[in-house]
């Protein structure tokens, strides 16, 4: 103690220095908190494209509280930055009970929007893909708040939560330029909860148009199902021996019920939130019922030895599923969605086997039945994928079912008319019979054409996959070789400038050696994502050239413009760090630029080599810089 006391007497500046350092320390902590609490921003004029602004990306997020509107810009709350669209269960994976089928709780989404009225006359957001109950507000820069809309009643514990399924247009203020979009959410029902799907700012007229299109398509679906029901009921009344007509009628009726109950607009017509659980359970029963009714129809159309037992088993599955759905709570029903989908897949596979068996045995109409079944199977596969995706929310199985029913109804109608005319007007019906055969051939040709189109689309998809580097999602070396030569020839023909940029991640080998190749691959993906979202032009080409080298082709770009763009990329890369189980990694890269006219190059390969030489100079001069290839000697 005496030594310490003597030091204090000898150093009169010790206490003032301690105060200064303490002030600086706490100031740095406060500045860090402000930065950590900053709400992500969207600059509307900069991101306006094709009449819309995409709101996917970073949002502010706070779980466990509805932040007071007057405090959303304060430092009192540590706002988390998240990437949407995604499920709440994914966002809160470390903070929720994994044994629970759904996320229980409530929170706030935040997004600052700048320059709103500079790009839109009457801005709106289509809020269809927001699960559970939500409420939206707008808070401008002066702190004034405006109520925008809701999907029911938000709740802290779920006891008084009300969910109304309805397609909602959220009108944003047209007289406000800058503000914050605040979405309060309560999640107590669905597994896929949160701001999922693609949110976009569009003009109000465009959002209304999309709803009208959706309503029209839904009405068309319901109308087709009603048409099939009525038509086949009429046919069955006149020909009661045709059991397939009755089964097709039941099939169409169940599909009609599915189309009605699963529609958002049905909830609007009912208008009673307390009926939500009943309608929801009915909707889940109608997931399996159409498949069972369809299996019954197919088994009758292509009969086999144990067809009766097969049908009985399917109806037993339906009965057990319906009883379970009626008795279980909604959250438990949702957790069993995979089971329902598995049942659908099993029924679909068994039905496909029945149809294939009919084709092998050359049963009448079985081949056409198989072709008409193809879009239905694809629609089911699409819906199973969409039910587990946060970004893709297009469900088409009901529309595929309607198309299938319409085709089958017309086939049954053709059979009915053909049989009736043959029995009553055999001597005078040759011309009509030829016309019916011609229609049947035309229908088969149409199905074959659809199959050919589908195969062509698959071929294009495979071709596209062959052009992409599987790790980064960028173009691969083969693709860049083809494109660089083509761009070079075009630039020579038009006497236009052409710039190539060769990029190499600095100290990449050290990252692999220190953290492992898994982290190295993550860094490559990060850089690829950074370049893809760096506001390069639509026609600019980015490719992984080899290892950690990336080549950027800038068509119709002078050396000066290329240097400006590349310098922006170089400076922006190191602005954020890569975080994970390892220590944060800040990436930098070196860039080499070569331009066709300046370098006097006569081939794409030579221009790439010039850019590579410039890259070597950038590495040699200290890395994290941009170097330009000099004029070719």
Q: Look at residue 503 in the predicted model and tell me its pLDDT.
A: 93
Q: Look at residue 6 in the predicted model and tell me its pLDDT.
A: 33
Q: Is there a domain that residue 281 lies in?
A: yes
Q: Residue 219 pLDDT > 60, yes or no?
A: yes
The tens digit of pLDDT for each residue in 566-613 reads 999 999 888 888 887 778 888 999 999 999 888 888 888 989 999 999
Both 505 and 574 in one domain: the answer is yes
What is the DSSP code string of 335-359?
Answer: HTHHHHHHHHHHHHHHHHHHHHHHH
The tens digit of pLDDT for each residue in 181-211 reads 999 999 888 877 888 878 899 999 998 888 8
Q: Percent of the chain, pLDDT > 90? A: 26
The pair of structure tokens assigned to 459 is 């071929």
Sign of the Cα pseudo-torsion (35, 41, 43, 49, in order): positive
Q: Look at residue 99 in the predicted model and tell me its pLDDT.
A: 65
- Among 33-37, 204-208, 261-265, name the most confident range: 204-208
Q: Which domain range does residue 7 map to?
A: 2-35
Q: Look at residue 280 in the predicted model and tell me its pLDDT.
A: 79
Q: Residue 88 pLDDT > 90, yes or no?
A: no
Q: Look at residue 266 in the predicted model and tell me its pLDDT.
A: 65
The total of other beta-carbon atoms located within 10 Å of residue 56's CB is 14
For the chain, what is the domain count?
4
Are β-strands 626-628 and 589-595 bridged in parallel, bridged antiparallel, or unpaired? Answer: parallel
pLDDT band at 445 (very low <50, low <70, confident <90, very high): confident
Q: Is there a domain that residue 444 lies in?
A: no
Per mean pLDDT, which range of 206-215, 239-248, 363-372 is the poorest?
Answer: 363-372
Start-end of H helices in 501-603: 508-515, 517-532, 559-573, 596-599
Task: Answer for the pair 350, 295: CB distance below 8 angstroms, yes or no.
Answer: yes
Q: Look at residue 112 in the predicted model and tell me its pLDDT.
A: 95
pLDDT band at 27 (very low <50, low <70, confident <90, very high): very low
> SS3 string of 148-200?
EEECEECCCCCCCCEECCCCCEEECCCCCCCEEEEEEEEECCCCCCEECCCCE
The tens digit of pLDDT for each residue in 541-553 reads 999 988 889 999 9
pLDDT band at 625 (very low <50, low <70, confident <90, very high): very high
Task: Answer for the pair 272, 324: CB distance below 8 angstroms, yes or no.
Answer: no
Both 274 and 246 in one domain: the answer is yes
Q: Is there a domain that residue 452 lies in?
A: no
Q: Residue 415 pLDDT > 60, yes or no?
A: yes
Both 299 and 390 in one domain: the answer is yes
What lies within 8 Å, CB to CB, of 7 at 6+ separation is: 14
pLDDT band at 5 (very low <50, low <70, confident <90, very high): very low
Q: What is the mean pLDDT of residues 298-302?
A: 82
Average pLDDT of the chain is 81
Radius of gyration (Cα) for the chain, nearest Å? 32
Q: Which of 133, 167, 198 is the last residue of a domain?
A: 198
Alpha-carbon distance of 572 to 589, in angstroms, equals 10
Are β-strands 589-595 and 133-140 bridged in parallel, bridged antiparallel, or unpaired? Answer: unpaired
The tens digit of pLDDT for each residue in 324-350 reads 988 988 877 877 778 887 888 888 888
Q: Is there a domain that residue 613 lies in?
A: yes
Q: Look at residue 42 in the predicted model and tell me its pLDDT.
A: 94
Q: Residue 560 pLDDT > 70, yes or no?
A: yes
Both 371 and 491 in one domain: the answer is no
Q: Residue 31 pLDDT > 60, yes or no?
A: no
Q: Is there a domain that residue 204 lies in?
A: no
Question: Domain of 102: which CATH number?
Answer: 2.60.120.260
Residue with tokens 């050919």: 452
Both 132 and 17 in one domain: the answer is no
Both 226 and 131 in one domain: the answer is no
Q: Which of 174, 198, 222 is the last residue of a domain?
A: 198
Q: Is there a domain that residue 535 lies in?
A: yes
């Amino acid at each position: 103690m005496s030594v310490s006391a003597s030091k204090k007497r000898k150093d009169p500046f010790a206490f003032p220095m301690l105060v200064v350092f303490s002030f600086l320390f706490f100031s740095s902590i406060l500045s860090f908190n402000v930065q950590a609490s900053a709400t992500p921003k969207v600059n509307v004029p900069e991101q306006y494209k094709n009449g819309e602004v995409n709101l996917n990306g970073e949002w502010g997020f706070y779980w466990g509280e509805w932040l007071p509107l007057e405090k959303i810009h304060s430092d009192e709350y540590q706002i988390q930055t998240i990437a949407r669209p995604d499920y709440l269960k994914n966002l809160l994976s470390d903070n929720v009970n994994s044994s629970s089928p759904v996320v229980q709780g409530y929170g706030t989404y935040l997004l600052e929007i700048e320059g709103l009225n500079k790009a839109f006359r009457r801005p709106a957001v289509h809020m269809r893909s927001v699960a559970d109950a939500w409420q939206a507000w707008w808070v401008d820069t002066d702190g004034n708040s405006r109520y925008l809309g809701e999907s029911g009643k938000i709740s802290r514990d779920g006891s008084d939560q009300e969910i109304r399924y309805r397609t909602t247009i959220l009108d944003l203020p047209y007289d406000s330029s800058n503000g914050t979009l605040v979405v309060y959410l309560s999640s107590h029902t669905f597994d896929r909860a949160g701001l999922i799907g693609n949110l976009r700012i569009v003009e109000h007229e465009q959002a209304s148009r999309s709803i009208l299109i959706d309503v029209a398509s839904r009405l068309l679906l319901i109308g087709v199902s009603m048409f099939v029901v009525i038509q086949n009921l009429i046919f069955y009344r006149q020909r009661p021996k045709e059991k397939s007509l009755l089964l097709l009628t039941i099939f169409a009726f169940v599909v009609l019920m599915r189309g009605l109950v699963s529609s958002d607009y049905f909830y609007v017509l009912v208008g009673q939130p307390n009926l939500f659980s009943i309608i929801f359970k009915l909707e889940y029963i109608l997931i399996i019922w159409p498949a069972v009714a369809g299996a019954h129809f197919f088994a009758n159309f292509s009969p086999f030895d144990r067809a009766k037992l097969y049908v009985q088993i399917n109806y037993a599955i339906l009965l057990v599923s319906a009883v379970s759905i009626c008795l279980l709570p909604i959250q438990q029903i949702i957790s069993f969605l995979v089971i329902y989908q598995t049942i659908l897949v099993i029924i679909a596979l068994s039905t496909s086997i029945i149809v294939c068996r009919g084709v092998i045995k050359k049963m009448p109409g079985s081949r056409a039945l198989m072709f008409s079944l193809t879009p239905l199977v694809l629609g089911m596969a699409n819906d199973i994928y969409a039910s587990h995706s946060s970004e893709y929310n297009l469900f088409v199985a009901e529309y595929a079912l309607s198309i299938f029913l319409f085709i089958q109804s017309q086939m049954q109608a053709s059979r009915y008319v053909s049989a009736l005319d043959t029995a009553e007007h055999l001597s005078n019906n040759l011309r009509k019979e030829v016309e019916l055969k011609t229609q049947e051939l035309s229908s088969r040709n149409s199905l074959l054409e659809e199959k050919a189109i589908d195969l062509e689309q698959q071929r294009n998809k495979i071709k596209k996959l062959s052009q992409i580097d599987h790790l980064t999602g960028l173009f691969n070396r083969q693709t860049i070789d083809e494109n660089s030569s083509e761009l070079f020839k075009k630039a020579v023909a038009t006497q236009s400038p052409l710039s190539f940029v060769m990029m190499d991640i600095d100290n990449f080998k050290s990252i692999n050696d220190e953290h492992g190749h898994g982290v190295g691959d993550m860094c490559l993906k990060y850089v690829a994502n950074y370049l893809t979202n760096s506001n390069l032009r639509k026609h600019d080409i980015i490719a992984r050239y080899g290892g950690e080298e990336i080549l950027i082709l800038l068509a119709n770009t002078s050396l000066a413009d290329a240097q400006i763009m590349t310098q922006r990329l170089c400076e922006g890369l190191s602005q954020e760090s890569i975080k994970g189980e390892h220590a944060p990694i800040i990436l930098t890269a070196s860039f080499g630029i070569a331009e066709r006219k300046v370098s006097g190059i006569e081939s794409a390969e030579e221009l790439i080599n010039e850019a590579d030489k410039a890259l070597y100079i950038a590495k040699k001069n200290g890395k994290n810089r941009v170097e330009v290839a000099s004029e070719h000697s």
